[in-house]
Amino acid sequence: MKLRRNVIIINELGLHARAAAKIAQLAEGARSKVYIVKDGQAVDATSILDVMALYCPHGTELVVKITDPGDVKVLNRIARLIETGFGEL
């Protein structure tokens, strides 16, 4: 079972506050930790400020990572959210 997914920010505004809030909301539904990783730096996906601090403009590649295989649905939902431009396209 995959515990990580590579995704690319496709919306023109990048990963901004509203998008970070959507990620955090999904991550809060996980049983264990969910991380967003950029260039080897991992942050807690439930923290809007930490996610925004990664600075992810259009075209940025990220890894969404979970620590519990039971959270694979959360992983897939977050990846799908990012892959679809946070519903803004």
Q: What is the pLDDT at residue 2?
A: 76
Among the options 16, 33, 42, 72, which is catalytic?
16
User: Can you give the pTM of this predicted structure?
Assistant: 0.94
DSSP 25-75: HHHTTSSS-EEEEETTEEEETT-HHHHHHT---TT-EEEEEES-GGGHHHH
The answer to whether 16 is a known catalytic residue is yes
Domain total in the chain? 1
Q: Tell me the pLDDT tens digit for each residue of 46-88.
A: 999 999 999 999 999 999 999 999 999 999 999 999 999 998 8
Q: What is the pLDDT at residue 30?
A: 97
Q: What is the pLDDT at residue 1?
A: 62
Domain containing residue 71: 4-87
Q: Tell me the pLDDT tens digit for each residue of 74-83.
A: 999 999 999 9
CATH of the domain at 11: 3.30.1340.10
Gap between the terminal Cα atoms of the chain: 30
Tokens of 73: 């649905």
